[in-house]
Structure 1
Amino acid sequence: IMAKGMSSFISDLILENKGTFENKRSCDMNAYGVYGKTVQKTLFEGDEKKRYIHIYHSISKDADERESFENALRERITLLMSHQNETVEFGSAYEKYFYLHYDKDGVFLYSEEKTTVTEREISLCGYFVIITSERMTAKEALHLYKGRDVSEKLFASDKSFFGNKSMRSHTNEGVEGRIFTQFIALIIRNKIYTALQEENEKLEKKQNYMTVPAAIRELEKIEMTRQTDNIYRLDHAVTAKQKVILKAFGLDANSIKYFASELSKELKKSE
């Protein structure tokens, strides 16, 4: 499971480990742009099994979350000032960050920022946590979570990817079959994504064609054509880009030549 840094049950653990890994190169998660470390601890009292809690910090996430929080804080301060000397009540979102002072008649006078609360939340910006029951490194946990996250987002948006906006089916069995097929397709898609990501990390320079859509477009260029002797052969040699992509799946140019040869034999038999 994933928890954001400001979640109350995990924030104390983050603050305990704050400053112990954010600048250490050994804690760099490489392609993900974050730093992380793993600690082992029980989540709650009575939990007999210790969990592996992977703590991460992102510089870009830190900046975005801090800017968003401070903008929201300024907006609240402006609103509070605009209601001075009025009979008005504010919700818990204001009471969390401000001491609100009223006179005996319930007229709002002024506010004081709870600096210990706001400073604590600012110090938690950019942090998030992944919790696992199985032993693994922070990098392995993040890699697994990113892969799952991609599948969930894809399945949530399958209306556009697989035409799920309109099922075009008159029976429940047809709808269930289509959704099941789409889910299997997402599993395969995620496997392709994982293989490409792992191979891309090994390269000296990250390549923009190592994404699923780009890789599929590149591999679709591998074609067979029937030549003058009525035998199907590869239209052209496997390119350098295609070789890099194929390597992610444990294949190479010779594999393509072999598959093409076998397919050519089958096509000849069918004639």
Structure 2
Amino acid sequence: MVAIVYQKDKRSGITYAYHSISFWDKEKKQSRARRTLIGRVDNITGEIVPTDGRNRKKAEEKPPINRGRPAINSVKRTFFGATYLLDAIGEKLGITQDLKQCFPDTYKQILSLAYYLILEDSTPMYRFEKWGILHKHPYGDNITSQRSSELFASITEEDKQRFFTLQGKRRVEQEFWAYDTTTLSSYSETLRQVQYGHNKEHDQLPQLKLALVFGQDSNLPFYYRKLAGNIPDSKTIHRLLEELEILGYSKVKLVMDRGFYSEYNINCLYQNHVKFLVSAKMSLNFIRNELDEIYESFRSFENYNDNYEFYCRTVRSSWNYTQKRPYKGDNLKESRRIYIHYYYNIDQAADDEKDFDRKLISLKQELESGERVLQHEKLYQQFITWKTTPKRGTQVMVKEESVIEVKRYFGFFALITNETMNAVTALELYRNKDVVEKAFGNLKERLNMRRTLVSSEQSLDGKLFVQFVALIYLSYIKKQMQEKDLVKRFSIPGLLDKLDVIECFEQPGKALQVGEMVEKLEQLYYDLGVTPPTSL
């Protein structure tokens, strides 16, 4: 008996159709069925679309598929407002031109997939077909899951580096570049760089890391790379500087958090003539020693900043620079100029002291009850003395000198730099570094990067690149929204949805016609730095 059986793939959401032939198995003495795949079921028409495994001979007789935008041979009405915005941004930022130069055969597919990621907000790739039918986009044709995987695998490292170079040349050379990393958890066990390490989101999954460089004035990313998930931030600077030099960036200024601080990294930055602004731990000896010299006069009226409500002061100091010189067989030792910007927040100091006292109480109770915590052994030794006797039990005393020494630096934080600037300017530059953190949020949430599901290195590299292209568009939109104060009225998805209702009408031999548009929508385009669409 022959029947057609339908089965839905829970992961992809695709429904497949099979020929099912029933027969009697004499050995097992039971009814069995033999299935043969026919094809996938079209979600819109309900028709069964043959797969590559069926009617191959017939498929080979078909004319080759045109990978460019097909000529208009039928009447079409599609959504146009949001994709038009992305078209205009791509031209303005040179994204389209740079992609075309680096990927002449596939740049339209890359753009269409990037548009889809931006406008559909975390929707899986296999849903592109439905979106592509309803929207006007650069490629103008469907991109199947298989085709998108092939596209990702075709994106080479050489082409990516060319794109980074072209985009980097469009950025302001004198601006500081924010550099940071994030972790991307993965379900895949086959990717070589997926490793267990310090996960910034406290996932229990293995991970890989993504490092991103952002222009602080332009608020646009222009470079990224992935690295193994168990590599600490402090180990990434030397490689970053090498790659930036290869890309031709001679004038580099980096802003980084304290996770990137190490003596080796600071020496590397000096050696490569890189301007830097880095957060430094208050526990470092040279940071504390310089602060001790000005500690008593630090909280004076002259050092108070009313706008930020903290005290600040800058100290010029010396960095003990060292450089190994294998070609001479020695170590170069010199003194280099460095500036330390100190900040003191009295409210933060009070909060830190309360939290610390609560911690001391907790440590004291652990010892008195006999329920010691292995991870707290160093804290017991540093801040507490205790004695246990059969008659009086455990008596616990706090080491007052150790406590006073720690509390002395509560409320303080420090930034170090090799460029002349005042403390307030340095802080503003450092705080602008959160453009990277926000970009990571966009990558993980809007661009469906919270968990990576790809199983091959090539697919991962290609997908990351397409998502990076999408991130450039999102970063531009976000900056314009902030400058025009649109963030109070719209989220990014909300604004794009407003524009996405605008339609266009196409028919053979006729110019493209744009649907009606109210003045408020026209103003949104102007606010985003784009001229509103008009009929051609």
TM category (shorter chain) comes to 0.5 to 0.7
SS of aligned partner of 2:339: strand
Q: Does 1:235 align with 2:518?
A: yes
How far apart in 2 are the matches of 1:166 and 1:160? 10
Q: CA deviation at 1:118?
A: 0.9
Q: Name whichever of 171-180 and 65-74 sits farther off.
A: 171-180
Contact 1:53 1:129 in 2 (8 A): yes
Contact 2:383 2:403 in 1 (8 A): yes
How far apart in 1 are the matches of 2:473 and 2:287? 34
Q: 274, 284, 287: which one pairs with 1:10?
A: 287
List alignment gaps of at least 5 residues for structure 2.
1-277, 322-332, 371-375, 506-512
Q: 40, 46, 51: which one pairs with 2:316?
A: 40
SS of aligned partner of 1:42: strand
SS of aligned partner of 1:96: helix
How far apart in 1 are the matches of 2:469 and 2:422? 28
Q: Name whichever of 12-21 and 47-56 sits farther off.
A: 12-21
Q: Name whichever of 108-117 and 186-195 sits farther off.
A: 186-195
Q: Which amino acid aligns with 1:128?
A: F
How far apart in 2 are the matches of 1:225 and 1:181? 26
Q: Is the alpha carbon distance of 1:217 and 1:231 closer, same or farther for their aligned partners in structure 2, counting shifts above 3 Å?
A: closer
Residues 19-60 of structure 1, C-alpha deviation per residue, up to 9 Å, x if partnerless? Answer: 525765863564xx6543322212458651121212122344
Q: What is the aligned partner in structure 2 of residue 124 from structure 1?
A: 409
How far apart in 1 are the matches of 2:345 and 2:480? 24
List alignment gaps of at least 5 residues for structure 1.
84-89, 201-206
SS of aligned partner of 2:336: coil
Q: What is the correspondence of 1:83-232 to structure 2 with a 5 Å cutoff?
A: 91-100=377-386, 110-152=395-437, 154-155=439-440, 158-167=443-452, 169=454, 171-183=456-468, 185-186=470-471, 209=487, 214=491, 217-218=494-495, 221=498
Q: Which amino acid aligns with 1:98?
A: I
Q: CA deviation at 1:143?
A: 2.9
Q: What is the aligned partner in structure 2 of residue 56 from structure 1?
A: 343
Q: What is the aligned partner in structure 2 of residue 87 from structure 1?
A: none
Q: What is the aligned partner in structure 1 of residue 149 from structure 2?
A: none
TM norm structure 1: 0.62
How far apart in 1 are the matches of 2:334 and 2:444? 41
TM norm structure 2: 0.35
Q: What is the correspondence of 1:239-250 to structure 2 with a 5 Å cutoff?
A: 246=527
Contact 1:102 1:109 in 2 (8 A): yes
Q: CA deviation at 1:15?
A: 4.0
How far apart in 2 are the matches of 1:72 and 1:139? 33
Q: CA deviation at 1:190?
A: 5.7
How many aligned positions are there? 233
SS of aligned partner of 2:433: helix
Q: CA deviation at 1:72?
A: 0.6
How far apart in 1 are the matches of 2:291 and 2:347? 18
Q: Is the alpha carbon distance of 1:70 and 1:166 closer, same or farther for their aligned partners in structure 2, counting shifts above 3 Å?
A: closer
Contact 1:100 1:108 in 2 (8 A): no
Q: Is the alpha carbon distance of 1:166 and 1:136 closer, same or farther for their aligned partners in structure 2, counting shifts above 3 Å?
A: same
Contact 1:52 1:133 in 2 (8 A): yes
How far apart in 1 are the matches of 2:335 and 2:430? 25
Q: What is the aligned partner in structure 2 of residue 65 from structure 1?
A: 352
Residues 236-268 of structure 1, C-alpha deviation per residue, up to 9 Å, x if partnerless? Answer: 24799x69x94xx8x5xxxx5xx12xx31xx42
Pair member with larger Rg: 2
Q: What is the aligned partner in structure 2 of residue 203 from structure 1?
A: none
How far apart in 2 are the matches of 1:36 and 1:184? 40
When you count helix as a share of all residues, which structure comes out higher? 1
Q: What is the aligned partner in structure 1 of residue 364 from structure 2?
A: 77
Q: Which amino acid aligns with 1:37?
A: R
**What is the CA RMSD across the aligned residues, in angstroms?**
4.4
When you count strand as a share of all residues, which structure comes out higher? 2
Q: Does 1:27 align with 2:305?
A: yes
SS of aligned partner of 1:50: strand
Higher-RCO chain (CA-CA 8 Å, sequence separation at least 6): 2
Q: CA deviation at 1:187?
A: 6.0
Q: Which amino acid aligns with 1:123?
A: R
Identical residues among aligned pairs (%): 22
Contact 1:159 1:165 in 2 (8 A): yes
